[in-house]
Amino acid sequence: MDATPGAVLGDAPADAAGGHPAARVRGRRNRSVVAWALVCTAVLFLVAEVGVRSLGTLPPNRTWPDVESQFKAEHAASVRAEGLREPLVFAGSSVSDAAFDPERVTEAAGLDVPSFNYAQEGSLASSTAMFLDAAVLDDVQPDIVVMGVYPGDIGAAPTNAASLVDELPRSRGYRRATGSQNLADRIEEAASSRSALVAHREILRNPYRLAQWLRSAPGPEFFDADTGALTRHRARSIDPALASPAPGGADPSPDDEAIGGVGHDTTVPIAPQVAAIEDLAARLAAQDRRLVVVELPVLDSAWDEASSPDGRERTHDELVGVERAGCAERLDLRSEIQDPQYWSDGVHVNAAGTAAISEAVGEWLADHPDPPADC
């Protein structure tokens, strides 16, 4: 008896085992669908890429922890790219951000040099030094760094601001600036350099922000793009009758979330923060540069001494020690501008306070043109 299987209906004869060829028909159709889908997707991406490139200059994806550090790092890079320098720069936390207006300082000092405020909201002394080392000093080649300090900057008082100490090393911008990129960073860099869709995907994901940018490229909203000085507090004035002392004197910043801000007061060990200032002073002195540490005032009537007992005195003692180490100079402004008309809150000055502190710093620089000789 013939055991050969009979023919099976289909577009091809059955095989020796009698299998049905219909599955191969479905496979060919599936492959065609997938191929067309891939082609259509590639065409769509190509059209989108061309479309994005036609929009002109769009803001790149953020690589630093927050908007301010991103802008200021890019500013420093642009100074270097243009072959320029900034002989006088400022650093610190939001308190310094608000206190120093580079234009007023240089005018009061009788200096005609480029200057910029690289202070950052939410920065401790150690993260200030980290940012300067990574993004500023080599790029702008300053002769003088003026660093403002108030108790919250070194851990002598609690602060509502989030510290950049942890956020900076996690950012791709910082790793790139310090030459410590990982594989993911390199892949991101390569993709961003080749594709506008990748390089600008953050703004492309936000139609409202994209529309705003296309109408008129926005500048920074809370600090002066030309000087780097914080402007959020300029128009405010503290009401002594209504003001209740905030812990450490600091009010929460609406931008804390951008840098992983915490919603409660925090303190940090003082010794590492002081050591960071001393190390920065020594490194600058080794390069014939100067670090001037300014003891910034706080408003006595709005200061919560209970939350930071002896915080101001401890800060003063520590900064005197920094000066005695020999590489840093110190300007004591603690007793200045105690009238509430100069303040936005307990530690941030308004426009009048900015002018007063900046002029005091400028006058001091005019009186101290030379660096200390004993470092």
Same domain, 236 and 341: yes
41 plus 138 within the same structural domain: no
How many domains would you assign to the chain? 2
C-alpha 147/C-alpha 118 separation (Å) is 10
**In this structure, is residue 290 part of a structural domain?**
yes
With a CB cutoff of 8 Å and minimum separation 6, the contacts of 281 are 291, 293, 322, 325, 327, 328, 375
36 and 87 part of one domain = no
DSSP-based three-state secondary structure for 256: helix
User: What's the longest Cα–Cα distance across the chain?
Assistant: 118
Q: What is the value of pTM for the model shown? A: 0.81
From 107, 344, 139, select the one nearest 230 (Cα to Cα): 344
Half-sphere exposure of 254 (CA within 13 A, CB side): 4
96 & 164 share domain: yes
- Report how far residue 150's alpha carbon sits from residue 295's, in angstroms, rounded to the nearest whole number: 6
Rounded Cα gap, residues 308 and 267, in angstroms: 10
pLDDT tens column, 97-154: 999 999 999 999 999 999 999 999 989 999 999 999 999 999 999 999 999 999 999 9
Q: Is residue 230 part of a domain?
A: yes
Say if residue 35 is in the same domain as residue 84: no
Encoded tokens for 326: 């020999």
What is the three-class DSSP state of 78?
helix
pLDDT in tens, 255-272: 443 443 444 567 789 999
> Are residue 113 and residue 230 in the same domain, yes or no?
yes
Residues 156, 88 share a domain: yes
- Give the 3-state secondary structure of residue 88: strand
The model's pLDDT over 17-63, given as tens digits with 9 standing for 90+, comes to: 555 555 555 566 777 888 888 888 888 878 877 887 888 788 888 89
Per-residue pLDDT at 158 exceeds 90: no
- Phi and psi at 266, nearest 5°, equal -135, 155
Report the C-alpha gap between 72 and 138 in whole angstroms: 14
**Strands 144-149, 88-91: pairing kind:** parallel
Contacts of residue 77, defined as CB under 8 A and 6 or more positions apart, other chains included, come to: 135, 139
Give the number of C-alpha atoms closer than 13 A to the C-alpha of residue 185, restricted to the C-beta side: 17
- In this structure, of 33-37, 90-94, 294-298, 337-341, the range with the lowest mean pLDDT score is 33-37
pLDDT at 262: 40
Instruction: Tell me what pLDDT residue 254 has.
Output: 42
> Which residues partner with 115 through β-bridges?
88
Residues in the chain, overall count: 375
Q: Which among 5, 20, 157, 135 has a CA at the least distance from the CA of 79?
A: 135
Q: Is 200 within the bounds of a domain?
A: no
> 41 and 102 share a domain?
no
In a domain, 245, yes or no: yes
Residues 343 and 314 grouped into a single domain: yes
Distance of alpha carbon 96 from the chain centroid: 14
Q: In sequence order, which ranges of the chain are alpha helices (DSSP H)?
A: 22-54, 67-81, 94-99, 102-109, 125-131, 137-140, 151-154, 164-170, 172-177, 183-194, 196-199, 201-204, 207-215, 270-286, 311-324, 351-367
Asked if residues 146 and 91 have their Cβ atoms less than 8 Å apart, the reply is: yes
250: Cβ contacts below 8 Å, ≥ 6 apart:
95, 152, 157, 158, 159, 160, 161, 345, 346, 347, 348
Whether residues 75 and 47 share a domain: the answer is no
Residue corresponding to tokens 């929009």: 55
Phi/psi at 85 (5° precision): -135, 160
Which one is predicted more confidently, 333 or 268?
A: 333
For 247, counting Cβ atoms within 10 Å of its Cβ (0-12 exposed, 13-18 middle, 19+ buried), the class is buried
Q: What is the pLDDT of residue 241?
A: 62
Residues 76 and 173 in one domain: yes
Residue 204 lies in a domain: no
The model's confidence at residue 15, banded by pLDDT at 50, 70 and 90, is: low
Instruction: Answer yes or no: is 197 within a domain.
Output: no
**Per-residue pLDDT, 251:** 45
CATH code of the domain in which 252 resides: 3.40.50.1110
Same domain, 134 and 32: no
Bin 229: left if φ > 0, else alpha if -120 < ψ < 50, else beta. Answer: beta
Is 208 domain-assigned? Answer: no
Give residue 214's pLDDT. 81
Residue 83 C-alpha from the chain's centroid: 23
Share of the chain above pLDDT 90, in %: 52
Q: Which amino acid is at 205?
A: R
Transcribe 326-359 into DSSP letters. SSEEEEE-TTS--SGGGBSSSS-B-HHHHHHHHH
- Residue 263: the pLDDT is 42
In a domain, 12, yes or no: no
Give the residue numbers spanning the domain of 41: 22-54
| pLDDT at site 316 | 96
